[in-house]
Amino acid sequence: MRKVGQSQDPPRELIQLIIDNFSNGKKKEAIIEIELLIKDYPLAPILFNISGTFYKSNGQLDLAITKFEHALTLRPNYAEVHYNIGITFRELGRTEEAIKSYKNALSIKNANPNAHYNLGNALLSLKQYDDAIEHFKSAIVFNPKFALAYNNLGILNKQLGNDLEAGKNFDKALAIKPDYAEAANDRGVIYQNSGDHERAIKYYQKSLKINPNLADAYNNIGHAEIELNNTDNAIKSFEKALSINPTLANAYYNLSRLKQYTISKEQVAKMQSLLNTDGISQSDLIKINFALAGVNEYLGNQDELFKALNEGNRLRKEELNYSLDKDLNEHLNLKNLFNITTSIPEKLVSYEPSKIRPIFIVGMPRSGTTLVEQIISSHHQIHGAGELNTLNKIITPMLSNFATQETNVSEKVLLTIRKVYLDFLSSLNTPASIITDKMPMNFRYIGFILKAFPEAKIVHLKRDSRAVCWSIYKSYFPAKGLGFAFNMEDLAGYHNSYNELMFFWHQLFPNKIYDISYEDLTTNQKEETKKLLEYCKLDWDDNCLKFHKNERSVKTTSSLQVRERMYQGSSEAWKNYKTHIQPLIDNLKPYLN
């Protein structure tokens, strides 16, 4: 006969019977049975652990925590309970406590792939990327067939811009679990990022064969169809996504950008209701506000336009935790680094000539860089590579070393930049020997460009400051490096600093940078195109006047505009909103150069 207070565990058969009852839907009875058993065996930690899992499964999370904590008072080194309490804390949104619990479980038993996996997810949610990567990798070490861990490692690398590594991880996840719809969808995103839209669509379609209700896959197909200039197909895909998931903010935002589509009153009402829906993420709120801003701009409702636009921008700045001072300091450090009194080599002595000649198209976002690349890349000798983040990835780590005076801009540094960048261009596998890179923000690195690539050309877009800043402010940029875009004062301050930096580069490298006015290009297309091609040392090509027929992929915010013929007057649009953007206008300084 059992005695109340005995310390040994109850019979395993009895425990298993209760667990089976719970698993078979007899949850209420199982909970009563486990509580009765606890009265007979109050010193058995396994029973409190099982009770906690029952309550957790039943949605009674606080009670589950109480049971798990009681189990730990009986057995502090109970790894399974530390793990279970971590999962419960995570569901309660108590991420820091969850992380502590997962770490406790791993300190007792490190060979626990699930604990590593869940700890990786928790760290990922806090943007502790390096630690998250290590734990996903550990999960795979202890379980080489852990498809979920491979997939999340892929997602993390995708977020960090490591598309090659992300693709490898998605491939491994799919090799282990061929019916992994989410992995197939994410693999498609990697192909789309590389410009292989046809293969991307095949992977999206593969994910939909596995899960026909994967709304994100339809949304991604819509993105790919836009880049392939198949607007009608894109609209159908976005609508299908919304028919599956009427709360999909991305799809509403994408539809709001299409001139060919008029968002219905029902869709507007749904977006407005989402703004007041509990549980909607900040990221989705941002997209919904920008979508509503687009709708109200089209309808001419200025007050509603700016209500949504200002809120979307406010939330985006908050999401990025942006500070203008950081960017202003970077610009100042670049000027100090390249000041004419420094010992930067006058020119490279030992560099190897390259078969590839890059053309860098720089300026503020929305200044016309996409248009100019579309024009140049229409030339039969040119490959338009789009916005390459390559130079930024190479130089950013170096800037930290320069700031701490651990190194300087030596010939060795410049040769490293040259080699890594040109190696990347070579990997593009294009027969063209002239490649355009239209990352606007490369204006920051003009000093490095002119020193490391003597054969390169730099085309700098200039546009009316009020026009370009208004165009930026009303646009949603998913890139994290454009935090200045989401506040009028920040935007004006950054634009002023950009102008000062460009003035500095022009002084330091006279006649090495080609300025082209967006307004002049739109009013004198042929004349300005001719001068542009001459600077780039290219023969005339009539295709450059037919840039709108260029079928190359365009991924930027301007992807829809460059499919149209040249139009004039866009730099006057800001005047229609002068009253609402007066704080922006008041803070802009005139051009210095």
d(CA 348, CA 36): 82
* Domain presence at residue 568: yes
What is residue 272's three-state secondary structure? helix
Residue 350: domain span? 324-587
Q: Which contacts of 316-322 are long-range, i.e. CB under 8 A and separated by 24 or more positions?
A: 316/286, 316/476, 316/485, 316/486, 317/483, 317/486, 317/487, 317/490, 318/282, 319/282, 319/283, 319/286, 320/480, 320/483, 320/486, 322/483, 322/484, 322/486, 322/487, 322/490
* Domain presence at residue 198: no
pLDDT attached to residue 10: 87
* Domain presence at residue 459: yes
Span 505-516, pLDDT tens digits: 999 999 999 999
* pTM: predicted TM-score of the whole model, two decimal places: 0.84
* Domain presence at residue 96: no
* Domain presence at residue 402: yes
- Residue 468 predicted with pLDDT over 50: yes
pLDDT attached to residue 1: 38
* Local confidence band at 341 (pLDDT 50, 70, 90 cut-offs): low
* Local confidence band at 565 (pLDDT 50, 70, 90 cut-offs): low
Cβ atoms < 10 Å from Cβ of 591: 12
Average of per-residue pLDDT across 162-174: 95
Structure tokens at 240: 């299908």
For the stretch 519-535, what's the b/e string if a residue is b when 16 or more beta carbons lie within 10 angstroms of its beta carbon?
bebbeebeebbeebbee
Span 424-437, pLDDT tens digits: 999 998 999 999 99
- Residue 220 predicted with pLDDT over 50: yes
Query: What is the maximal distance between C-alpha atoms in the chain?
Result: 102
* Domain presence at residue 436: yes
Cβ distance 432 to 382 under 8 Å? Answer: yes
Span 278-290, pLDDT tens digits: 889 999 999 999 9
Please tell me what DSSP assigns to residue 514: E
Per the structure, the count of domains in the chain is 1
* Domain presence at residue 576: yes
pLDDT attached to residue 79: 96
pLDDT attached to residue 577: 96
- Residue 3 predicted with pLDDT over 60: no
pLDDT attached to residue 404: 62
User: What dihedral angle (degrees, nearest 10) is formed by the CA atoms of 86, 92, 97, 99?
Assistant: 50
pLDDT attached to residue 566: 59
d(CA 367, CA 462): 6
Span 10-24, pLDDT tens digits: 888 888 998 898 889
Task: List the single range of 302-311, 312-321, 416-425, 582-591 with lowest mean pLDDT.
Answer: 582-591
Give the N- to C-terminal CA distance of the chain in Å, as an integer: 95
d(CA 188, CA 181): 11
**Sequence-ordered alpha helix ranges (H) in 474-524:** 488-508, 518-523
- The CATH code of the domain that includes 455 is 3.40.50.300
Beta strands 434-437 and 357-362 are: parallel
What is residue 117's three-state secondary structure? helix
Task: List the single range of 21-30, 283-292, 580-589 with lowest mean pLDDT.
Answer: 21-30
What is the residue-averaged pLDDT of the chain? 91
* Domain presence at residue 123: no
